[in-house]
Amino acid sequence: MALKPARILAIESSCDETACAILENGRALLSSVVASQMEIHARYGGVFPEVASRQHVLSITSVVEQALTQAHLTLKDIDAIAVTQGPGLAGSLVVGMNMAKGLALGSGLPLIGVNHLEGHLYSAWVYNSDERAPAEPQFPLMVLLVSGGHSELNLMTDHLTYQRLGSTLDDAAGEAFDKVARMLELGYPGGPAVQKSAEEGDPNRFKFPRAWLDGTWDFSFSGLKTSVLYEVRELQKKSGSLPVADLAASFQKAVIDVLYKKTMDAAREFGAKEILIAGGVSANRPLRQIFKAQTEFPVHIPPLSLCTDNAAMIASAGYYRFALGHISQLDMDVLPTWPLS
Segment 33-47, tens digit of pLDDT? 998 766 666 666 666
| Encoded amino acid at 180, one letter | V
Separation of alpha carbons 308 and 19, rounded Å: 11
pLDDT band of residue 109 (cuts 50, 70, 90) is very high
Question: Any residues with CB less than 8 A from the CB of 269 and at least 6 apart, and which?
Answer: none
| CB environment 88-114: b (16+ within 10 A), e (fewer) | bbebbbbbbbbbbeebbeebebbbbbb
Please check whether the two domains, 7-126+305-323 and 141-301, share a CATH topology: yes
| 336: pLDDT strictly greater than 70 | no
pLDDT band of residue 15 (cuts 50, 70, 90) is confident
Question: Any residues with CB less than 8 A from the CB of 161 and at least 6 apart, and which?
Answer: 341
Residue pair 19/13 in contact by the 8 Å Cβ criterion:
yes
Superfamily (CATH) of domain 7-126+305-323: ATPase, nucleotide binding domain (3.30.420.40)
Report the length, in residues, of the chain: 341
Task: Please state the pTM of the whole predicted model.
Answer: 0.93
Segment 181-229, tens digit of pLDDT? 999 999 888 999 999 999 999 999 999 999 999 999 999 999 999 999 9
What is residue 11's predicted lDDT score, i.e. its pLDDT? 98
What average pLDDT does the segment 242-251 reach? Answer: 98
Name the strand (E) or helix (H) holding 41. helix 38-42
pLDDT band of residue 341 (cuts 50, 70, 90) is very low
User: Which CATH number does the domain 141-301 belong to among 2.40.10.10, 3.20.20.150, 1.20.120.720, 3.30.420.40?
Assistant: 3.30.420.40
Residue pair 78/35 in contact by the 8 Å Cβ criterion:
no
CA distances from 38 to 35, 122, 196 (A): 9, 24, 17
218 sits in the region (left: phi over 0; alpha: psi -120 to 50; else beta) called beta
| 90: pLDDT strictly greater than 60 | yes
- The DSSP bridge partners found for residue 31 are 22
Average pLDDT along the chain:
92
Residue pair 278/256 in contact by the 8 Å Cβ criterion:
no
What average pLDDT does the segment 106-125 reach? Answer: 95
Q: Which of 230, 226, 256 is nearest to 242 (CA)?
A: 230
What is residue 239's predicted lDDT score, i.e. its pLDDT? 85
DSSP character at residue 214: T
What is residue 147's predicted lDDT score, i.e. its pLDDT? 86
What is residue 44's predicted lDDT score, i.e. its pLDDT? 62
125 sits in the region (left: phi over 0; alpha: psi -120 to 50; else beta) called alpha
| Angle between helix 244-269 and 285-293 (nearest 10) | 40
- Domain spans of the chain, in order of start: 7-126+305-323, 141-301
What average pLDDT does the segment 276-297 reach? Answer: 97
- Count Cβ atoms within 10 A of the Cβ of residue 289 and give its class: 0-12 exposed, 13-18 middle, 19 or more buried: exposed
What is residue 339's predicted lDDT score, i.e. its pLDDT? 66
pLDDT band of residue 327 (cuts 50, 70, 90) is confident
What is residue 332's predicted lDDT score, i.e. its pLDDT? 44
Separation of alpha carbons 57 and 52, rounded Å: 9
